[in-house]
Amino acid sequence: MLIKEYRIPLPLSVDEFQRGLLYAVSACSRQETGGGEGAEFLKQEDFTSDTIRPGHTVSGTYTKKIYRLRSKAPWVLQKLLPPEAFEIYEESWNAYPYCKTVLTNPGYMKENFTQIIETIHLPDNGSSDNPLNCRVKREIVWIDITDNAIFGSRNNRSEKDAKTFEADATERGPLEDDWQDEHDPIMCCYKLVSCNFKWTGLQRMIERTIHKQYPRVFGLMHRDAYLFMNEWYNMSMDEIREYEEETVVVLQKQMAEPGKRGNTCNDDVNNNK
């Protein structure tokens, strides 16, 4: 099992990012779903649990989705694995500022593939020592939303540059070189990711390949939450929830359409060379 902790500082408050994240997840799902691939909602309901986060009782929203991702996977995995290997089931317990997500592949790998992503959002710049109480050795990976090199050429456009972005809704931006130390407000998203792929001879390669995608995957999502600020900043939480409900319907329609949408893991990304 390969475990890494990703740290993503953001020029937002923790409360602001709750709305920004929900909006960005829905908006990005719309951009990435089409042609039989992308996200499909299976269930969404309230939950309360004292087992999701040991030692804590947490409440929030539980969701279950299927992601069909064959064309978005690295070419080496597309060559090695059959189509059903790219149907990923996601169960997520969003008790913001804490969230837990479990990814599985019951149609192919069954109990031999599991990813667990634990997330905590804190009002600091990434300075917390071990915010998710990881008890084993893990590598810490920093993700800078202004580092365009991690996003690939198709995502590296002037209108997508977080460093030069200016938000009319809040009069924030552009970001200075030392924004992670000086910006007010500031927060950090900490993501502890454990990847377990049980397959003799391929385990280390597959786990490393999966982790290699996360700087871009997490970077894009969090950068978009910031760049979409003019769209979500003045929305209430009730309005955000309405947008989520509309997204479920939109995704069903787009899934049935012929054209695929969005990014693949084979885009030109400097750190993947």
Nearest to 66 by CA among 210, 251, 240: 251
Residue 272 has what pLDDT? 40
Residue 225 has what pLDDT? 96
Which domain covers residue 160, as residue numbers?
Answer: 2-200+207-254
Report if residue 271 sits inside a domain. no
Contact predicate 102/115, CB 8 Å: yes
Dump pLDDT digits (tens) for 36-80. 777 888 999 999 999 999 899 999 999 999 998 877 677 777 887
The CATH number that applies at residue 17 is: 3.30.530.20
Report if residue 267 sits inside a domain. no
How far is residue 11's CA from residue 162's CA, in Å, rounded to a whole number?
Answer: 10
Nearest to 55 by CA among 116, 2, 98: 98
Report if residue 173 sits inside a domain. yes
Report if residue 120 sits inside a domain. yes
Question: How many independent structural domains does the chain possess?
Answer: 1
Residue 65 has what pLDDT? 94
Report if residue 50 sits inside a domain. yes
Residue 31 in tokens: 């951009």
Report if residue 226 sits inside a domain. yes
Contact predicate 167/173, CB 8 Å: yes
Report if residue 169 sits inside a domain. yes
- Tell me what the mean pLDDT of segment 152-180 comes to: 89
**Angle, helix 203-227 to helix 14-32, in steps of 10 degrees:** 110
Report if residue 138 sits inside a domain. yes
How far is residue 24's CA from residue 63's CA, in Å, rounded to a whole number?
Answer: 16
Residue 38 has what pLDDT? 79
Dump pLDDT digits (tens) for 215-265. 999 999 999 999 999 999 999 999 999 999 999 899 889 878 877 766 655
**Angle, helix 237-256 to helix 14-32, in steps of 10 degrees:** 20
pTM: 0.89
